[in-house]
Structure 1
């Protein structure tokens, strides 16, 4: 029987022992693992160079930036960091370390980017051979590792050809064999949210804060990082990702999210008990917050408000804790219920329950495509159109 293209690609992958002979000794841990400071590689052009056509001399990465350019280098570092979130940078660094460590164990070199080596690496990830506990990586994890490798290679002045058959064909086989349906978090519906609010202590600042976060997160369709990243006013903190404005008909939340700046309108509710604007005004008044982060840590048995901003994990823990306490999805076992809820449950809840034109939901969630918005609509359109009856059966 003729070999498939995937089998041929796998046969053409290099043997680790041959790679040791051809590539020479593996690079040092310093050169393999450390991210290059791309800002410090500042090229200094002399007047003679400019007269000869402006060709820049090849820079030495180890050479320190000229003193008169240090302030620009410092600012450029800040722009480099602002290009991606801290979580993304941590993931990129961890994936590069994982790949480099695997290469050293196999006697392979991480640089330059060789599609054959990357093909072997993702095969090891899929089979569990690339991890210490022998647990195979999921398809989504492997795809993220590939993206991380591409970014890391590009920062080192190299390009990884992900369309090369040694990568593309192997990755297609991994998807076909190991891909599974996405595991989405459960959507918090309005009746669920009301039950969750009742589980919170109305007599403490912590309970009031948590109540406000749930209402704003749901009605705004906000990500957990957006909820905790909001300030009371504009340009009040260096790490702020937006601010609020309270108006007659509701509140306007200006956010810097994944897709850029956007404005989110949160209208007033029909009842003070479930109105996000009333909850916010009460929180600001009793917590005596007029400047800085909107949602902060509460100490002293829930009665003292600190200055430190909450992190996104606190939102996920709050949603899970309140959902379990309210008995949401009580038809499931306790262990299964705990895995169903997270910060995204609030965004999914708004998308699934708001009976309006899909375009308004898409705008509120900050999605660039209607297809992405539909992924959040967990149960909204199920069986709304019955093609069985429409066909006459």
Structure 2
């Protein structure tokens, strides 16, 4: 059991080692005044402001995941009768080994999930004022062995190519909901957008507090200003060759008939699909929309339905643009907001396979 002093300190900071993941466990409440500084109204306000900025340093989904990582590790420690604080590289090495090769019927975690758990522990320890040395041999060598023994090739979602996206939008009706979903698919595809980026857009700058960006429609296309995963960036989406496939035209149609003049760009509709509501659309809708239109369009129809659904996700739109656009790689990299060309190449599913035959070039 922790000492009374340690218990008190953790409780006061809102970071108890057995807090539930959806409580304050993932919040950076450890930010506080120094012990020797007396509190005041102005200083307390600044503490709250600093905590708000600290929370904004990572997305809500990341913070929730880190909270769950800590809750799992703390539970594991309790079951072993040991303390999670302060960090012990030897202990964490054992924890990683247990995740990779658990006893009994508990399924082993994938290497990527184990690495994410380790990142979560590092973040949580930092919030508690501790440093976790991931290069310590008790952690680094165990993780290297897990990778060598259990690593598998990365599972990538299938890219939605040109003919696929055309077939998918062709399945949509021309009611209000269909106009919205057509704009979502075409805009997401042409912009190489993440599903969270699509639904976070507002019509204008500063329309809503939870805005992730805004749009500006021009003669040549639409300019998106996004507060994305890697920071602020601009995405240019030009007009297409025909109204039937043009993402900008589809967006204009949705805005006109839904009478969107303020607030979220994509909102929910009434059950009959004839009226636009005020609530912002969830990013889960984008994933469901992609899967449903893939089925309706008969894409990869040779596979069972379960396998077809597993092949595609929101990232299929980004991979589709990267794989279909026959332009200089740097333009694709800029559109996707990637920091490196190597990351962009991961999205280019099968595009460059056997384009250059080194066997023949070598004289064989």
Q: Take 2:86 and 2:31, find their aligned partners in 1: how far apart are those partners?
A: 21
Indicate if the aligned counterparts of 1:296 and 1:306 stay in contact, CA closer than 8 A.
Answer: yes
Indicate if the aligned counterparts of 1:39 and 1:76 stay in contact, CA closer than 8 A.
Answer: no
Q: Are residues 1:128 and 2:102 paired?
A: yes
Match of 1:149 in 2: 121
Cα deviation per residue 1:347-376 (whole Å; 9 max; x = unaligned)? Answer: 000000100000000000000000000000
Q: Take 2:278 and 2:195, find their aligned partners in 1: how far apart are those partners?
A: 19
Match of 1:337 in 2: 308
Match of 1:362 in 2: 333
Please say which structure displays the higher CA radius of gyration: 1
**DSSP-derived class of the 1:273 partner:** coil
CA shift for structure 1 position 379: 1.4
CA shift for structure 1 position 253: 0.3
Cα deviation per residue 1:202-224 (whole Å; 9 max; x = unaligned)? Answer: 1x211111000000000000011
Q: Take 1:302 and 1:349, find their aligned partners in 2: how far apart are those partners?
A: 28
Match of 1:41 in 2: 32
Match of 1:53 in 2: none
Match of 1:346 in 2: 317
Q: Take 1:390 and 1:327, find their aligned partners in 2: how far apart are those partners?
A: 39
1:185 to 151, 157, 169: 157
Q: Take 1:228 and 1:350, find their aligned partners in 2: how far apart are those partners?
A: 18
**DSSP-derived class of the 2:223 partner:** strand
Match of 2:224 in 1: 253
Q: Take 1:148 and 1:261, find their aligned partners in 2: how far apart are those partners?
A: 25
CA shift for structure 1 position 43: 2.5
Indicate if the aligned counterparts of 1:92 and 1:149 stay in contact, CA closer than 8 A.
Answer: yes
Indicate if the aligned counterparts of 1:95 and 1:145 stay in contact, CA closer than 8 A.
Answer: yes
**DSSP-derived class of the 2:159 partner:** coil
Q: Are residues 1:229 and 2:200 paired?
A: yes
Q: Are residues 1:32 and 2:4 paired?
A: no
- Tell me: CA distance 1:75–1:133, structure 2 relative to 1, closer, same or farther (3 Å): farther
Cα deviation per residue 1:44-92 (whole Å; 9 max; x = unaligned)? Answer: 7xxxxxxxxxxxx3x7xxx9x5333232222222211211100000000
RMSD of aligned Cα (Å):
2.0
After TM superposition, the score normalised by the length of structure 2 is: 0.92
Q: Take 2:113 and 2:128, find their aligned partners in 1: how far apart are those partners?
A: 23
Q: Take 2:283 and 2:312, find their aligned partners in 1: how far apart are those partners?
A: 14
Indicate if the aligned counterparts of 1:39 and 1:73 stay in contact, CA closer than 8 A.
Answer: no
1:291 to 237, 249, 262: 262
- Structure 1: any 5+ residue segments left out of the alignment? 1-19, 45-56
- Structure 2: any 5+ residue segments left out of the alignment? 20-24
Match of 1:158 in 2: 130
Q: Take 1:363 and 1:94, find their aligned partners in 2: how far apart are those partners?
A: 34
**DSSP-derived class of the 1:269 partner:** coil
Count of residues in correspondence between the two structures: 352
Q: Which runs of 4+ in 1 moved over 4 A?
A: 27-30
2:58 to 84, 95, 109: 84
**DSSP-derived class of the 1:110 partner:** coil
Q: Take 1:198 and 1:75, find their aligned partners in 2: how far apart are those partners?
A: 49
Q: Take 1:95 and 1:309, find their aligned partners in 2: how far apart are those partners?
A: 29
CA shift for structure 1 position 322: 0.7
